[in-house]
Chain A
Amino acid sequence: EVQLQESGPGLVKPSQSLSLTCSVTGYSITSNYWGWIRKFPGNKMEWMGYISYSGSTSYNPSLKSRISITRDTSKNQFFLQLNSVTTEDTATYYCARYLRRVFDYWGQGVMVTVSS
């Protein structure tokens, strides 16, 4: 069974970088696509981007200057880095498998608060 688990700090200071890890079991990240989605307080959801089986990436243009998605295939993990965060980046962050453009397996989510 495909399982994903996010990990990372729950509190980040403004202007710093947010770094999250998604650990995948039951499926190789060298197949298909793997994405990050976030859910803001108030429930709005935003697609952030994905990394493909080959390592290519695609990002939401609204984040393009701040976001980076990378991977470590030896550990079957992929990563999210979001730079220069503000309080508006406070959200629950999810990683998910992005199969034929839908998210068919999701992690449990990690709540990240941006606050000084």
Chain B
Amino acid sequence: DIQMTQSPASLSASLGETVTIECRASEDIYNGLAWYQQKPGKSPQLLIYNANSLHTGVPSRFSGSGSGTQYSLKINSLQSEDVASYFCQQYYDYLNTFGAGTKLELK
């Protein structure tokens, strides 16, 4: 199985700040990576796929980057509605695996 190591586990940031969350794969996943947002009590929402493609309807302050084994999700100009948990998913391997998640809170 491809292991996904996500960091940090939790993050506190101020409104307007830029936030970066990272996922590291245990082997090259060739950009087969998605990012999701999950608000408390809600279902996960797809943000990014193919490492850097913005899903329909997702605000442009969200962006993804990376290659090989290292990938990042960046949130520019943090808004209050971005308070949520974020997690990555690798799908390069048919056995999809997920990061452990990052809980983002407001400072």
Interface string of A36-64 (1 = CB under 8 A from B): 00000001111100000000001011000
Given A102-B34, A102-B91, check contact A45 B98 (CB 8 Å).
yes
What band does the interface of chain B fall in when counting residues whose beta carbon is under 8 Å from A?
A: 20 to 34
Report B-chain residues with C-beta under 8 Å of the C-beta of A43. 85, 87, 100-101
Nearest B residue to A61 via CB reads B95
Nearest B residue to A107 via CB reads B43
- Closest chain-A Cβ to B2's Cβ sits at a distance in Å of 11
Interface string of B17-50 (1 = CB under 8 A from A): 0000000000000001010100000111110010
Q: How many residues of A contact B (CB 8 A)?
A: 18
Residues of chain B touching chain A, judged by Cβ–Cβ distance below 8 Å, are 32, 34, 36, 42-46, 49, 55, 85, 87, 89, 91, 94-98, 100-101
Question: Could you give 18 example pairs across A and B, Cβ below 8 Å?
Answer: A43-B85, A43-B101, A45-B87, A45-B98, A58-B94, A60-B95, A61-B95, A94-B43, A101-B32, A101-B91, A102-B89, A103-B34, A103-B46, A104-B46, A104-B55, A107-B43, A108-B43, A109-B43
Residues of chain A touching chain B, judged by Cβ–Cβ distance below 8 Å, are 43-47, 58, 60-61, 94, 100-104, 106-109
